[in-house]
Amino acid sequence: MNPETLIESLKNQRKIKKSNLSKYFLPVLIISFFIVQFFILPEALYADENIKSVPRQYIDTVAISAIVEDFNSDRVLWEKNPDKSIYPASITKIMTAIIVLEKANNLKEVVKISENARGRNFSSINFRVNDEITVEDLLKAALVSSNNNATIALAEYISGSEKEFVKLMNKKAKEIGALNTNFENTNGLDSENLNHRSTAKDLVRIAKYCMSDSKFRELVSLKEATIYLNGKEIIIQNTNSLLDGDFIKGIKTGYTNNAGFCLITYSKKEGVELICTVLGSSSYGRNFDTLRLLDWVYDNYKYEKIISKEKSVLDAYAGDVFSDLSFDLFTEKDFYILLNKTEDNIYFDFDIDQNIALPVLKNKSYGKVNVFLNNNRIEELDLYARSEIKSPEIEISYINSSYRELIESLLIFTLSFYFSAFTFIIIKNLIRLKSN
Protein backbone atom coordinates (compact mmCIF):
# COMPACT_ATOMS: atom_id res chain seq x y z
CA MET A 1 0.00 0.00 0.00
CA ASN A 2 1.46 3.38 -0.94
CA PRO A 3 1.68 6.37 1.46
CA GLU A 4 -1.21 8.27 -0.14
CA THR A 5 -3.56 5.32 0.32
CA LEU A 6 -2.52 4.88 3.92
CA ILE A 7 -3.04 8.55 4.75
CA GLU A 8 -6.46 8.60 3.04
CA SER A 9 -7.40 5.54 5.04
CA LEU A 10 -6.56 7.35 8.26
CA LYS A 11 -8.61 10.38 7.23
CA ASN A 12 -11.61 8.17 6.55
CA GLN A 13 -11.22 6.51 9.91
CA ARG A 14 -11.39 9.88 11.66
CA LYS A 15 -14.81 10.49 10.11
CA ILE A 16 -16.23 7.36 11.67
CA LYS A 17 -18.14 7.99 14.87
CA LYS A 18 -16.46 6.05 17.60
CA SER A 19 -18.64 4.91 20.46
CA ASN A 20 -15.69 3.15 22.00
CA LEU A 21 -12.19 4.56 21.38
CA SER A 22 -10.44 1.43 22.53
CA LYS A 23 -12.23 -0.54 19.80
CA TYR A 24 -10.19 1.28 17.10
CA PHE A 25 -6.98 1.80 19.03
CA LEU A 26 -5.20 -1.37 17.83
CA PRO A 27 -5.95 -0.94 14.08
CA VAL A 28 -4.84 2.70 14.19
CA LEU A 29 -1.68 1.68 16.01
CA ILE A 30 -0.85 -0.95 13.38
CA ILE A 31 -1.44 1.44 10.47
CA SER A 32 0.67 4.10 12.19
CA PHE A 33 3.46 1.57 12.63
CA PHE A 34 3.57 0.86 8.89
CA ILE A 35 3.59 4.60 8.11
CA VAL A 36 6.60 5.05 10.39
CA GLN A 37 8.26 2.07 8.77
CA PHE A 38 7.73 3.51 5.31
CA PHE A 39 8.78 7.11 5.95
CA ILE A 40 11.35 6.89 8.72
CA LEU A 41 13.08 3.53 8.94
CA PRO A 42 15.75 2.94 6.28
CA GLU A 43 15.18 -0.06 4.09
CA ALA A 44 16.53 -1.49 0.86
CA LEU A 45 14.78 -0.59 -2.36
CA TYR A 46 13.32 -3.43 -4.37
CA ALA A 47 11.73 -3.74 -7.79
CA ASP A 48 9.90 -0.59 -8.79
CA GLU A 49 9.35 0.29 -12.43
CA ASN A 50 9.15 3.98 -11.56
CA ILE A 51 12.61 4.15 -10.01
CA LYS A 52 15.56 4.61 -12.35
CA SER A 53 19.28 4.75 -11.60
CA VAL A 54 18.93 3.75 -7.96
CA PRO A 55 22.30 4.10 -6.18
CA ARG A 56 24.16 0.84 -5.71
CA GLN A 57 24.02 1.00 -1.92
CA TYR A 58 20.21 0.77 -1.96
CA ILE A 59 20.08 -2.44 -3.99
CA ASP A 60 19.46 -5.63 -2.02
CA THR A 61 17.92 -9.06 -2.54
CA VAL A 62 15.77 -11.54 -0.71
CA ALA A 63 18.34 -14.11 -1.84
CA ILE A 64 21.16 -15.05 0.50
CA SER A 65 23.63 -14.91 -2.38
CA ALA A 66 23.44 -13.17 -5.75
CA ILE A 67 25.64 -11.93 -8.56
CA VAL A 68 25.31 -10.21 -11.95
CA GLU A 69 28.13 -10.43 -14.49
CA ASP A 70 28.75 -9.10 -17.96
CA PHE A 71 28.37 -12.18 -20.15
CA ASN A 72 31.24 -11.16 -22.44
CA SER A 73 33.81 -10.70 -19.70
CA ASP A 74 34.44 -11.67 -16.10
CA ARG A 75 33.38 -8.24 -14.90
CA VAL A 76 31.12 -8.35 -11.85
CA LEU A 77 28.47 -5.61 -11.97
CA TRP A 78 26.75 -6.39 -8.66
CA GLU A 79 27.24 -9.05 -5.99
CA LYS A 80 26.14 -10.23 -2.58
CA ASN A 81 27.93 -13.10 -0.85
CA PRO A 82 29.09 -14.45 -4.24
CA ASP A 83 31.51 -16.98 -2.70
CA LYS A 84 29.16 -18.34 -0.05
CA SER A 85 28.84 -22.13 -0.25
CA ILE A 86 25.18 -22.92 -0.95
CA TYR A 87 23.07 -25.80 -2.23
CA PRO A 88 22.55 -25.23 -5.98
CA ALA A 89 19.40 -27.39 -6.29
CA SER A 90 18.37 -28.09 -9.91
CA ILE A 91 20.80 -25.56 -11.34
CA THR A 92 23.05 -28.62 -11.08
CA LYS A 93 21.37 -29.94 -14.21
CA ILE A 94 23.15 -27.45 -16.47
CA MET A 95 26.45 -29.20 -15.77
CA THR A 96 24.82 -32.59 -16.42
CA ALA A 97 23.46 -31.33 -19.73
CA ILE A 98 26.69 -29.81 -21.06
CA ILE A 99 28.65 -32.99 -20.38
CA VAL A 100 26.02 -35.04 -22.22
CA LEU A 101 26.13 -32.63 -25.15
CA GLU A 102 29.91 -32.93 -25.32
CA LYS A 103 30.04 -36.72 -24.88
CA ALA A 104 27.01 -38.02 -26.78
CA ASN A 105 27.60 -39.13 -30.35
CA ASN A 106 23.95 -39.04 -31.39
CA LEU A 107 21.20 -37.08 -29.64
CA LYS A 108 18.59 -39.11 -31.52
CA GLU A 109 19.77 -42.37 -29.98
CA VAL A 110 17.09 -44.15 -27.95
CA VAL A 111 17.74 -44.79 -24.24
CA LYS A 112 16.00 -47.44 -22.15
CA ILE A 113 15.04 -46.35 -18.65
CA SER A 114 16.67 -48.40 -15.89
CA GLU A 115 15.45 -49.25 -12.41
CA ASN A 116 17.50 -46.35 -11.00
CA ALA A 117 15.95 -43.85 -13.41
CA ARG A 118 12.33 -44.95 -13.14
CA GLY A 119 9.53 -42.75 -11.81
CA ARG A 120 10.55 -41.21 -8.50
CA ASN A 121 12.55 -38.23 -7.20
CA PHE A 122 9.66 -35.73 -7.36
CA SER A 123 9.69 -35.62 -11.17
CA SER A 124 6.87 -34.27 -13.32
CA ILE A 125 7.14 -37.23 -15.66
CA ASN A 126 7.24 -40.70 -14.15
CA PHE A 127 9.35 -43.14 -16.10
CA ARG A 128 8.89 -46.88 -15.93
CA VAL A 129 11.56 -49.51 -16.38
CA ASN A 130 12.33 -50.12 -20.09
CA ASP A 131 10.54 -46.97 -21.24
CA GLU A 132 12.17 -45.65 -24.40
CA ILE A 133 13.14 -42.03 -25.00
CA THR A 134 15.85 -40.27 -27.01
CA VAL A 135 18.89 -38.53 -25.51
CA GLU A 136 17.62 -35.17 -26.79
CA ASP A 137 14.22 -35.63 -25.18
CA LEU A 138 15.88 -36.57 -21.89
CA LEU A 139 17.83 -33.30 -22.12
CA LYS A 140 14.59 -31.42 -22.74
CA ALA A 141 12.97 -33.14 -19.77
CA ALA A 142 15.93 -32.23 -17.55
CA LEU A 143 16.36 -28.61 -18.63
CA VAL A 144 12.80 -27.58 -19.47
CA SER A 145 10.60 -29.39 -16.93
CA SER A 146 13.50 -30.03 -14.51
CA ASN A 147 12.93 -33.80 -14.45
CA ASN A 148 15.14 -35.40 -11.82
CA ASN A 149 14.98 -38.92 -13.28
CA ALA A 150 16.07 -37.75 -16.73
CA THR A 151 19.51 -36.77 -15.44
CA ILE A 152 20.04 -40.23 -13.97
CA ALA A 153 19.13 -41.84 -17.28
CA LEU A 154 21.53 -39.50 -19.09
CA ALA A 155 24.34 -40.22 -16.63
CA GLU A 156 23.90 -43.96 -17.09
CA TYR A 157 23.85 -43.54 -20.87
CA ILE A 158 27.18 -41.66 -20.87
CA SER A 159 29.11 -43.28 -17.99
CA GLY A 160 27.23 -46.44 -17.03
CA SER A 161 26.33 -45.08 -13.61
CA GLU A 162 25.51 -41.80 -11.94
CA LYS A 163 28.51 -42.17 -9.63
CA GLU A 164 30.95 -42.32 -12.54
CA PHE A 165 29.21 -39.46 -14.32
CA VAL A 166 29.52 -37.22 -11.25
CA LYS A 167 33.30 -37.63 -11.51
CA LEU A 168 33.08 -36.03 -14.95
CA MET A 169 30.99 -33.20 -13.52
CA ASN A 170 33.56 -32.38 -10.83
CA LYS A 171 36.44 -32.65 -13.27
CA LYS A 172 34.72 -30.24 -15.65
CA ALA A 173 33.97 -27.82 -12.80
CA LYS A 174 37.69 -27.62 -12.00
CA GLU A 175 38.58 -27.13 -15.67
CA ILE A 176 36.14 -24.25 -15.94
CA GLY A 177 37.51 -22.62 -12.79
CA ALA A 178 34.56 -23.40 -10.50
CA LEU A 179 36.91 -24.37 -7.70
CA ASN A 180 34.39 -24.00 -4.87
CA THR A 181 31.92 -26.45 -6.38
CA ASN A 182 31.37 -30.09 -5.42
CA PHE A 183 28.73 -32.24 -7.10
CA GLU A 184 27.43 -35.45 -5.52
CA ASN A 185 24.59 -36.17 -7.95
CA THR A 186 23.27 -35.12 -11.35
CA ASN A 187 20.03 -33.36 -10.38
CA GLY A 188 20.71 -31.28 -7.28
CA LEU A 189 18.61 -33.22 -4.76
CA ASP A 190 20.44 -32.62 -1.52
CA SER A 191 18.53 -34.33 1.30
CA GLU A 192 21.09 -37.14 1.31
CA ASN A 193 23.96 -35.20 -0.25
CA LEU A 194 24.79 -32.41 2.15
CA ASN A 195 28.15 -31.71 0.53
CA HIS A 196 26.54 -31.04 -2.83
CA ARG A 197 27.50 -27.35 -2.92
CA SER A 198 28.43 -24.47 -5.17
CA THR A 199 28.59 -20.66 -5.13
CA ALA A 200 26.87 -17.94 -7.13
CA LYS A 201 30.19 -16.98 -8.73
CA ASP A 202 31.02 -20.58 -9.69
CA LEU A 203 27.59 -21.14 -11.21
CA VAL A 204 28.07 -18.06 -13.39
CA ARG A 205 31.33 -19.54 -14.67
CA ILE A 206 29.62 -22.84 -15.40
CA ALA A 207 26.67 -21.12 -17.09
CA LYS A 208 28.92 -19.06 -19.36
CA TYR A 209 30.70 -22.22 -20.41
CA CYS A 210 27.40 -23.99 -21.09
CA MET A 211 25.99 -21.09 -23.10
CA SER A 212 28.89 -21.35 -25.54
CA ASP A 213 27.15 -24.49 -26.85
CA SER A 214 24.43 -23.61 -29.39
CA LYS A 215 22.29 -26.66 -28.58
CA PHE A 216 22.38 -25.86 -24.89
CA ARG A 217 21.27 -22.28 -25.65
CA GLU A 218 18.40 -23.58 -27.72
CA LEU A 219 17.16 -25.98 -25.04
CA VAL A 220 17.24 -23.57 -22.09
CA SER A 221 15.34 -20.92 -24.04
CA LEU A 222 12.32 -23.16 -24.77
CA LYS A 223 9.11 -22.05 -23.06
CA GLU A 224 7.64 -25.45 -23.83
CA ALA A 225 8.82 -28.55 -25.62
CA THR A 226 7.46 -31.72 -27.15
CA ILE A 227 9.04 -35.02 -26.17
CA TYR A 228 8.17 -38.62 -27.03
CA LEU A 229 8.05 -41.40 -24.47
CA ASN A 230 7.52 -44.82 -26.04
CA GLY A 231 6.41 -42.96 -29.15
CA LYS A 232 3.72 -41.04 -27.25
CA GLU A 233 3.80 -37.25 -27.54
CA ILE A 234 4.10 -35.29 -24.29
CA ILE A 235 4.16 -31.50 -24.07
CA ILE A 236 6.21 -30.11 -21.19
CA GLN A 237 6.32 -26.55 -19.84
CA ASN A 238 9.42 -24.72 -18.68
CA THR A 239 9.64 -24.14 -14.93
CA ASN A 240 11.12 -20.71 -15.64
CA SER A 241 8.23 -18.23 -15.89
CA LEU A 242 10.63 -15.36 -16.73
CA LEU A 243 10.99 -16.75 -20.24
CA ASP A 244 7.74 -14.94 -21.01
CA GLY A 245 9.80 -11.73 -21.03
CA ASP A 246 11.35 -10.61 -24.30
CA PHE A 247 14.92 -10.25 -23.02
CA ILE A 248 15.15 -13.38 -20.81
CA LYS A 249 16.68 -16.29 -22.78
CA GLY A 250 17.25 -18.94 -20.07
CA ILE A 251 18.69 -20.66 -18.07
CA LYS A 252 17.51 -22.78 -15.11
CA THR A 253 15.40 -22.76 -11.97
CA GLY A 254 16.01 -24.73 -8.80
CA TYR A 255 14.41 -25.57 -5.48
CA THR A 256 14.96 -27.86 -2.50
CA ASN A 257 14.23 -27.40 1.18
CA ASN A 258 17.92 -26.89 1.85
CA ALA A 259 18.60 -24.61 -1.13
CA GLY A 260 15.47 -22.51 -1.11
CA PHE A 261 14.44 -21.03 -4.45
CA CYS A 262 17.25 -20.50 -6.95
CA LEU A 263 17.54 -19.14 -10.47
CA ILE A 264 20.30 -18.57 -12.98
CA THR A 265 19.38 -16.28 -15.85
CA TYR A 266 20.80 -15.21 -19.19
CA SER A 267 19.41 -12.00 -20.63
CA LYS A 268 20.10 -9.81 -23.64
CA LYS A 269 18.79 -6.29 -24.07
CA GLU A 270 20.04 -3.45 -26.28
CA GLY A 271 23.22 -5.38 -26.99
CA VAL A 272 24.03 -5.93 -23.31
CA GLU A 273 24.30 -9.60 -22.29
CA LEU A 274 24.13 -10.54 -18.62
CA ILE A 275 24.31 -13.61 -16.42
CA CYS A 276 22.51 -13.36 -13.08
CA THR A 277 22.42 -15.94 -10.28
CA VAL A 278 20.27 -15.79 -7.14
CA LEU A 279 20.54 -18.52 -4.50
CA GLY A 280 18.61 -19.08 -1.30
CA SER A 281 15.67 -16.86 -2.20
CA SER A 282 11.92 -17.29 -1.69
CA SER A 283 9.26 -18.47 -4.13
CA TYR A 284 8.36 -14.85 -4.90
CA GLY A 285 11.84 -13.44 -4.33
CA ARG A 286 13.52 -15.62 -6.94
CA ASN A 287 11.98 -13.78 -9.90
CA PHE A 288 11.72 -10.52 -7.98
CA ASP A 289 15.44 -10.48 -7.15
CA THR A 290 16.44 -11.40 -10.69
CA LEU A 291 14.35 -8.73 -12.41
CA ARG A 292 15.39 -6.12 -9.86
CA LEU A 293 19.07 -6.75 -10.49
CA LEU A 294 18.78 -7.00 -14.27
CA ASP A 295 16.68 -3.82 -14.49
CA TRP A 296 19.18 -1.95 -12.33
CA VAL A 297 22.09 -2.95 -14.57
CA TYR A 298 20.22 -2.08 -17.78
CA ASP A 299 19.26 1.29 -16.31
CA ASN A 300 22.81 2.14 -15.24
CA TYR A 301 25.17 0.49 -17.72
CA LYS A 302 25.54 1.13 -21.44
CA TYR A 303 28.17 0.17 -24.00
CA GLU A 304 30.30 3.20 -24.80
CA LYS A 305 32.94 3.54 -27.53
CA ILE A 306 35.99 4.87 -25.76
CA ILE A 307 38.50 4.36 -28.60
CA SER A 308 37.68 4.80 -32.29
CA LYS A 309 39.85 3.17 -34.92
CA GLU A 310 39.12 6.15 -37.21
CA LYS A 311 40.63 8.69 -34.82
CA SER A 312 44.30 8.92 -33.93
CA VAL A 313 45.06 8.03 -30.35
CA LEU A 314 48.45 9.71 -30.02
CA ASP A 315 51.37 11.24 -31.95
CA ALA A 316 54.76 9.60 -32.29
CA TYR A 317 58.04 10.98 -33.62
CA ALA A 318 60.41 9.53 -36.18
CA GLY A 319 63.60 10.86 -37.64
CA ASP A 320 67.08 10.40 -39.09
CA VAL A 321 70.25 12.49 -39.36
CA PHE A 322 68.58 15.22 -41.40
CA SER A 323 64.94 15.29 -40.28
CA ASP A 324 62.50 14.83 -37.41
CA LEU A 325 58.73 14.50 -37.96
CA SER A 326 55.55 13.41 -36.16
CA PHE A 327 52.94 10.88 -37.31
CA ASP A 328 49.59 9.62 -35.98
CA LEU A 329 49.02 6.29 -34.25
CA PHE A 330 45.74 4.35 -34.53
CA THR A 331 44.23 1.17 -33.10
CA GLU A 332 43.13 -1.65 -35.41
CA LYS A 333 39.62 -1.78 -33.92
CA ASP A 334 37.04 0.24 -32.04
CA PHE A 335 37.03 -0.47 -28.32
CA TYR A 336 33.76 -0.55 -26.39
CA ILE A 337 33.19 -1.00 -22.69
CA LEU A 338 30.11 -1.56 -20.54
CA LEU A 339 30.19 1.65 -18.57
CA ASN A 340 28.43 3.07 -15.55
CA LYS A 341 29.05 6.78 -16.05
CA THR A 342 28.27 7.69 -12.45
CA GLU A 343 30.64 5.12 -10.94
CA ASP A 344 33.32 4.05 -13.39
CA ASN A 345 36.65 5.78 -13.98
CA ILE A 346 38.68 5.18 -17.14
CA TYR A 347 42.21 6.25 -17.94
CA PHE A 348 44.89 5.32 -20.47
CA ASP A 349 48.57 4.53 -20.13
CA PHE A 350 50.73 4.82 -23.26
CA ASP A 351 53.93 2.95 -24.02
CA ILE A 352 55.35 4.40 -27.25
CA ASP A 353 58.55 3.23 -28.94
CA GLN A 354 61.47 5.61 -28.56
CA ASN A 355 63.96 6.62 -31.28
CA ILE A 356 61.75 5.53 -34.18
CA ALA A 357 63.77 5.56 -37.37
CA LEU A 358 62.56 6.50 -40.82
CA PRO A 359 60.96 5.11 -42.85
CA VAL A 360 57.75 4.59 -40.87
CA LEU A 361 56.06 1.39 -42.05
CA LYS A 362 52.33 0.97 -42.62
CA ASN A 363 50.53 -1.34 -40.13
CA LYS A 364 53.63 -1.75 -37.98
CA SER A 365 53.09 -1.42 -34.23
CA TYR A 366 54.96 1.52 -32.71
CA GLY A 367 53.56 1.25 -29.20
CA LYS A 368 50.66 0.21 -27.02
CA VAL A 369 47.82 1.77 -25.08
CA ASN A 370 46.66 0.16 -21.83
CA VAL A 371 43.06 0.82 -20.81
CA PHE A 372 42.34 0.93 -17.08
CA LEU A 373 38.88 0.69 -15.52
CA ASN A 374 38.68 1.56 -11.84
CA ASN A 375 42.44 0.95 -11.46
CA ASN A 376 42.26 -2.46 -13.15
CA ARG A 377 43.83 -2.98 -16.56
CA ILE A 378 41.16 -4.41 -18.83
CA GLU A 379 42.70 -4.16 -22.30
CA GLU A 380 45.99 -3.67 -24.13
CA LEU A 381 45.85 -2.43 -27.72
CA ASP A 382 48.66 -2.06 -30.25
CA LEU A 383 49.10 1.31 -31.94
CA TYR A 384 49.84 1.40 -35.67
CA ALA A 385 50.83 3.88 -38.35
CA ARG A 386 48.16 4.17 -41.02
CA SER A 387 50.51 4.89 -43.92
CA GLU A 388 54.15 4.60 -44.89
CA ILE A 389 56.36 7.63 -44.38
CA LYS A 390 59.66 7.57 -46.26
CA SER A 391 62.76 9.60 -45.57
CA PRO A 392 62.39 13.03 -47.25
CA GLU A 393 65.06 12.27 -49.87
CA ILE A 394 64.26 15.21 -52.13
CA GLU A 395 64.70 17.69 -49.37
CA ILE A 396 67.86 16.02 -48.14
CA SER A 397 69.20 15.94 -51.73
CA TYR A 398 68.54 19.68 -52.04
CA ILE A 399 70.42 20.40 -48.84
CA ASN A 400 73.38 18.25 -49.95
CA SER A 401 73.42 19.97 -53.33
CA SER A 402 73.47 23.37 -51.70
CA TYR A 403 76.35 22.37 -49.47
CA ARG A 404 78.27 21.00 -52.45
CA GLU A 405 77.81 24.17 -54.50
CA LEU A 406 78.86 26.28 -51.54
CA ILE A 407 82.00 24.22 -51.04
CA GLU A 408 82.78 24.35 -54.73
CA SER A 409 82.37 28.14 -54.74
CA LEU A 410 84.59 28.52 -51.68
CA LEU A 411 87.21 26.30 -53.23
CA ILE A 412 87.17 28.25 -56.51
CA PHE A 413 87.35 31.54 -54.57
CA THR A 414 90.23 30.29 -52.49
CA LEU A 415 92.16 29.03 -55.49
CA SER A 416 91.46 32.26 -57.34
CA PHE A 417 92.60 34.27 -54.33
CA TYR A 418 95.83 32.37 -53.96
CA PHE A 419 96.45 32.45 -57.73
CA SER A 420 95.88 36.20 -57.79
CA ALA A 421 98.07 36.73 -54.74
CA PHE A 422 100.83 34.58 -56.19
CA THR A 423 100.64 36.39 -59.51
CA PHE A 424 100.75 39.77 -57.72
CA ILE A 425 103.83 38.76 -55.75
CA ILE A 426 105.66 37.56 -58.88
CA ILE A 427 104.87 40.76 -60.79
CA LYS A 428 105.92 42.90 -57.82
CA ASN A 429 109.22 41.10 -57.53
CA LEU A 430 109.89 41.41 -61.23
CA ILE A 431 109.29 45.16 -61.12
CA ARG A 432 111.62 45.51 -58.12
CA LEU A 433 114.40 43.58 -59.90
CA LYS A 434 114.00 45.70 -63.02
CA SER A 435 114.25 48.87 -61.02
CA ASN A 436 117.52 47.76 -59.50
The CATH number that applies at residue 176 is 3.40.710.10
Give the pLDDT of residue 321.
61
Co-location of 21 and 147 in the same domain: no
Structural domain includes residue 16: yes
pTM of the model: 0.74
Is residue 44, in this structure, part of any structural domain at all? Answer: no
Using CA atoms, how far residue 65 sits from 56, 76, 232, in Å, is 16, 14, 41
Specify if 266 maps to a domain.
yes
Alpha-carbon distance values, 390 to 318, 324, 401 (Å): 10, 12, 20
> What per-residue confidence (pLDDT) applies to 52?
54
Work out the pLDDT band at 371, boundaries 50, 70, 90: very high
The verdict on residue 368 lying in a domain is: yes
pLDDT at residue 405, rounded to an integer: 74
pLDDT band at 34 (very low <50, low <70, confident <90, very high): very low
- Position 324 scores a pLDDT of 75
**Residues facing 318 on adjacent strands:** 325, 356
146 assigned to active site:
yes
For 80, other C-beta atoms within 10 Å of its C-beta total 19
Catalytic residue (choose from 65, 90, 123, 145): 90
Task: Examine the domain organization and report whether 242 and 186 are in the same domain.
Answer: yes
What is the tens place of the pLDDT at every residue in 335-361? Answer: 999 999 889 999 999 999 888 888 888
Q: What is the pLDDT of residue 436?
A: 61
What is the band of 317 on the pLDDT scale with cuts at 50, 70, 90? confident
Q: What CATH number did the domain enclosing 311 receive?
A: 2.60.410.10
Q: Is 90 a catalytic residue?
A: yes
User: Is 84 found in the same domain as 191?
Assistant: yes
- pLDDT beyond 70 at 291: yes
Reported confidence tier of residue 28, pLDDT bands at 50, 70, 90: very low
* 348 and 412 co-located in one domain: no
pLDDT of residue 322: 65
The residue among 328 and 136 whose pLDDT is bigger is 136
The whole-number average pLDDT for the span 24-33 is 46
Q: Give me the pLDDT at residue 149, please.
A: 95
What band does 55 get if pLDDT is binned at 50, 70 and 90?
Answer: confident
Residues sharing a CB contact under 8 Å with residue 366, sequence separation 6 or more, in sequence order? 316, 329, 352, 353, 356, 360, 383, 384, 385
For the cut 90, the answer to whether the pLDDT of residue 44 exceeds it is no
- Cα distances from 240 to residues 22, 235, 264, 328, in angstroms, run 49, 15, 10, 53
Of 279, 300, 321, which one is at a domain's C-terminal end?
Answer: 300
Which residues, other chains included, contact 354 with Cβ-Cβ below 8 Å and sequence gap of 6+? Answer: none
CB 264 within 8 A of CB 220: no
Please check whether residues 195 and 82 belong to one and the same domain. yes
Catalytic residue among 93, 140, 208, 252: 93
Both 136 and 270 in one domain: the answer is yes
* Residue 51 maps to a domain: no
Helix, strand counts (H, E) of the chain:
10, 17
Residue 75 has pLDDT above 80, yes or no: yes
Choosing from 65, 145, 146, 391, the catalytic residue is: 146
Reply yes or no on whether the pLDDT at 95 is more than 50: yes
Q: Is 416 a catalytic residue?
A: no
Total domain count, the chain = 4
Instruction: Decide if pLDDT at 63 tops 90.
Output: yes
Contacts 24+ apart (CB under 8 A), 363-372: 366/316, 366/329, 367/314, 367/316, 367/329, 369/307, 369/313, 369/314, 369/331, 371/306, 371/307, 371/335, 371/337, 371/346, 372/346, 372/347, 372/348
CA atoms of 68 and 54, how far apart (whole Å): 16
For residues 243 and 240, give the distance between their C-alpha atoms in angstroms, rounded to a whole number.
6
Residue 405 sits in the same domain as residue 378: no
Do 207 and 127 share a domain, yes or no? yes
- pLDDT, residue 401, reads 56
Residue 56: inside a domain = no
Which residues form the domain of 17?
3-39
Q: What is the reported pLDDT for 308?
A: 94
Same domain, 111 and 32: no
- 3-class state of residue 48 by DSSP: coil
The mean pLDDT value for 209-229 works out to: 97
pLDDT digits (tens, 9 = 90+) for 111-154: 999 999 997 767 778 899 999 999 999 999 999 999 999 999 99
Average pLDDT over residues 9-38: 43
| Residue 403, pLDDT score | 64
Say yes or no to pLDDT of 208 above 80: yes
pLDDT for residue 42 is more than 70: no
On whether both 347 and 270 belong to a single domain, the answer is no
Q: pLDDT tens digits for 382-401?
A: 999 988 888 765 444 445 55
> Residue 29, Cβ neighbours under 10 Å: how many?
9
Q: What is the mean pLDDT of residues 164-172?
A: 98
Q: Residue 422: which pLDDT band, with cuts at 50, 70 and 90?
A: confident
Residue 52 lies in a domain: no
Q: Whole-angstrom Cα distance, residue 288 to residue 45?
A: 12
Task: Share the mean pLDDT of the chain.
Answer: 85
Q: Is the model's pLDDT at 22 over the cut of 60?
A: no
Asked whether residue 247 is assigned to any structural domain, the reply reads yes
Mean pLDDT of the 376-387 span: 91
Q: To the nearest whole percent, how much of the chain has pLDDT over 70?
A: 83
Q: Percent of the chain having pLDDT more than 90?
A: 62
In this structure, of 5-14, 167-176, 206-215, 372-381, the range with the lowest mean pLDDT score is: 5-14
Asked if residue 188 and residue 108 are part of one domain, the reply reads yes
User: Both 289 and 344 in a single domain?
Assistant: no
